[in-house]
Amino acid sequence: MAAPDKVTDLTSAVATHVRDGMTVALEGFGHLIPFAAGHEIIRQGRRELTFCRMTPDLLADQMIAAGCVSKLVASFFASGSAGSLHEVRRRVESADPEPLEVEEYSHYGMVCRYQAGAAGLPFFPLRSYAGSDLPKLNPLIRKVADPYGGPDIYVVPPLRPDVTILHAQRADRSGNVQMWGIVGAQQEAAYAAETVIVTVEEIVEEDVVRSDPNRTVLPAHAVTAVVECPGGAHPSYTQGHYDRDNAFYREWTPISRDPEAVLGWLDEWVHQVPDRAAYLAKLGAERWSGLAVAPRPSQPVDFGRRRVAAQGAS
Amino acid sequence: MSTSLSDVAPSSTEFLAAVAARQLAGKRRVFAGVGLPTLAVDLARRTLDPDVELVYESGICGAQPEGLAEGIADSVLVSGAAAVLSMPALFSYVLQRGHVDVGFLGAAQIDRWGSLNTSFIGDWDRPTVRLPGAGGAAEIMPNAGECIVVLRRHDPGALPAELDFCTSPSPVRAHEEDPRMVPPGHGVSTVITPMAVLRRPEKLGELEISEVHPGLTVDDVRAATGWEIAVAEDVRETARPTVEEVRLLREEIDTVRLYLR
């Protein structure tokens, strides 16, 4: 029996699986950030989401400004080289235009939450937070006794998103997802979730996946829907496909300072654009080709193959 | 290398990066952040030891970038690296298990024991400034062998008697909470500011003035610090960057002036 075909389009995937009030994780640590999927959530007008992302990045600025998010679960509140996320700051510092609930951890605290969620554990211990004010800020960071007699240790609760959305280089039609470069905590974030949507640069034949099984970060059993979405991580990047649009990140800072400018940008680049193909067309061939990378292929590895005839001889 | 000294200002990025690079003598594995630490590590690889291994919280070990990285998740750090680990592996096996010698950290505020605030200025509930938060710093502080902090300001606001919030605690604060929970790392060993180099020789001790930058006095540094800061027995003048170090920074490391200002 053939494996079920999980390929769909982004509009359907978001319409089917992302509903108001859900806890939604969009992960990718500076790499493979699922911008196209975030923009589709904005276009479909989702509300009251609990948005989970270790480094919110300017994707958080955009989704919060669009009114999709009532709560942010995160561990860093800036945008790499581009500096502050002003939409986040306005809401936190002056509740403008409305307050934003924030649940805050350190990076490893968030990683441990995904690990606990992915492994079905009640909590996860880590050697951080002793002496820190973070447990006072976030009472979900708790201290427990070591049952084996060691010192007390802090633990974090599992994070179990209703939906985790990722971007990757490639997948086959049944949903085996392959990824390379920085893989962050994507495997954990996916296994922690009820439903997993993955956008990919290309859908490939099953033989391609099976030629290199160690490259598979998510087997098909962990994936609900696959969407072919070239350029789906812009302005972040996809290793081996296109580089980070650093100019865009710098351009965002002045936009982000002005609430009207943010809404204007969302109107022009999200609401008035039907999908990622149209977004890339609007971006223009010149800008896109400026992000092209030169090839640097890995050396193929040999998985070998059992010599069936020789074995069968006995 | 030329030993002739440059005349770059002590507050300049060149000065701070060169002083930071020298702290890496004899260190093997460095956990680097973005910006000035990137420059310092690159300079140290050229002037001290080409085998200093760079580890990034994005999971990259043994990076050999062909260009200047714009961020800790830049693709140039990945291409040609020795390994790219998942973040659970990086934080648990590499960092928490004790494989990192030195962590570089920045902060908005540091106190006398080397605890850091990167979270809030003002009230926690309605802060005057919402800072970036913990990131990986709350893990680097307890688990790296030692931490070097580079501050862009030296005044009582940046070095206050009391932090507005403690994001990444010194072992001193961990000890106050529970002596059994004192982490394996030393915490902050060295602070480089636009005025001075401060050191914290004892794991449970206070920072003291160790070097004062050219043109400044110990009293200048004390007056700009928010507590009665201790002074080391043998305070020296900070050695200026050499002409060659400044040339490397400008002409080979940061040719586009991404971080040099």
3-state secondary structure B21-77: HHCCCCCCEEECCCCHHHHHHHHHHHHCCCCCEEECCCCEECCCCCCCCCCCCCHHH
Residue of A nearest to B88 (CA): A111
Bridge-based pairing state of the strands A101-104 and A124-126: unpaired
**Has residue B88 been placed in a domain?**
yes
Q: What burial class does residue B135 get, using C-beta atoms within 10 Å of its C-beta: 0-12 exposed, 13-18 middle, 19+ buried?
A: buried
Interface subset of B 107-146, CB within 8 angstroms of A: 115, 119, 124, 126-139, 142-143
From B162's Cα to the closest Cα of chain A, the distance in A is 13
Contact of B52 with chain A, judged by CB distance below 8 Å, is answered with no
**Chain A residues in contact with B100 (beta carbon < 8 A):** none
Confidence grade of residue B70 (pLDDT, cut at 50, 70, 90): confident
Residue B182 at interface with chain A, using a CB cutoff of 8 Å: yes
Look at A151 and B73 and tell me if their CB atoms are within 8 Å.
no
pLDDT of residue B1: 47
DSSP string, A68-113: -EEEEEES--B-GGG-B-HHHHHHHHH-SSS--EEEE--HHHHHHH
Amino acid identity at B241: P
* Chain A residues touching B126 at Cβ < 8 A: 93-95
In this structure, the dihedral spanned by the alpha carbons of residues B91, B92, B96 and B98, taken in order and rounded to 10 degrees, is: -100
Name the β-bridge partners of A144: A153
Contact A217, A239 (CB under 8 A): no
The whole-number pLDDT of residue B79 equals: 96
Q: Which two tokens stand for residue A63?
A: 């989704």
Average pLDDT of B80-89?
97
Q: Which candidate in B66, B91, B115, B176 is best for mutational testing of the A interface (most A CBs within 10 A)? A: B91
Question: Are A129 and B124 within 8 A, CB to CB?
Answer: no
Average pLDDT, stretch B73-84?
A: 94
- Asked if A182 and B58 come within 8 Å (Cβ–Cβ), the reply is yes
- Residue ranges of E strands in chain B: 29-31, 53-55, 60-61, 83-84, 102-105, 109-110, 116-117, 120-121, 129-130, 146-150, 188-192, 196-199, 208-212, 230-237
The structural domains of chain A, with segments of one domain joined by +, span 10-122+158-290
* B77 belongs to a structural domain: yes
Q: Is residue B260 part of a domain?
A: no
In 3D space, the residue among A140, A114, A118 whose CA is nearest the CA of residue A129 turns out to be: A140
- The pLDDT of residue B21 is 95
Q: How far is CA A234 from CA A195, A238, B5, in A?
A: 23, 8, 45
pLDDT at residue number A15: 98
Cα–Cα distance measured from residue A197 to residue A176, given in angstroms and rounded to the nearest whole number = 12
Contacts of B136 in chain A (CB under 8 A): 106-108
Mean pLDDT of B38-57: 89
Range list of H helices, B48-154: 75-78, 87-89, 137-143
Number of domains in chain B: 1
- Return per-residue pLDDT of chain A as tens, 314 residues: 678 999 999 999 999 999 999 999 999 999 999 999 999 999 999 999 999 999 988 999 999 999 999 999 999 987 655 567 888 889 888 888 899 999 999 999 999 999 999 999 999 999 999 999 999 999 999 999 999 999 999 999 999 999 999 999 999 999 999 999 999 999 999 999 999 999 999 999 999 999 999 999 999 999 999 999 999 999 999 999 999 999 998 899 899 999 999 999 999 999 999 999 999 999 999 999 999 999 999 999 999 999 987 655 54
Distance from C-alpha of A282 to C-alpha of A304, rounded to nearest angstrom:
46
pLDDT for B47 equals: 93
Who's near A40: CB < 8 A, 6+ residues apart?
Answer: A10, A11, A14, A275
SS3 (DSSP) at B233: strand
pLDDT digits (tens, 9 = 90+) for B179-236: 999 999 999 999 999 999 999 999 999 999 999 999 999 999 999 999 999 999 999 9
pTM of the model: 0.96
**Tokens 């976030």 found at:** A138
CATH class of A10-122+158-290: alpha beta
Instruction: Pick the residue from chain B with its C-alpha nearest to A293.
Output: B75
Query: DSSP assignment, residue A134?
Result: H
Contact A128 B139 (CB under 8 A): yes
Share of chain B above pLDDT 90, in %: 77
Contact B219, B212 (CB under 8 A): no
Q: State whether residue A167 is helix, strand or coil.
A: strand
For residue B99, give the CATH number of its domain.
3.40.1080.10
Using the beta-carbon criterion (under 8 Å), do A106 and B138 form an inter-chain contact?
yes
- Residue B74 at interface with chain A, using a CB cutoff of 8 Å: yes
Active site residues of B: 57
Quote ipTM for the complex: 0.95
- Phi, psi dihedral angles at B160 (to 5 degrees): -85, 165
Contacts of B170 in chain A (CB under 8 A): 131
In a domain? residue B259: no
Whether omega before A97 lies within 30 degrees of 0, making that bond cis, reads yes
Task: Give yes or no for residue B110 having a pLDDT over 70.
Answer: yes
Ranges A221-230, B38-47, B152-161: which has the least confidence: B38-47
Which amino acid belongs to residue B47?
Answer: T
Q: Indicate the pLDDT class of residue B38, thresholds 50, 70 and 90.
A: confident
Of A126, A130, A153, the CB nearest to B169: A130
> Would you call B256 an interface residue with chain A, using a CB distance cutoff of 8 Å?
no
Beta-carbon pairs below 8 A across chains A and B: 172
Q: What domain range includes position B171?
A: 5-253
CB contact under 8 A, A183 and B73: no
- Residue in chain B closest to A152 (alpha carbons) equals B181
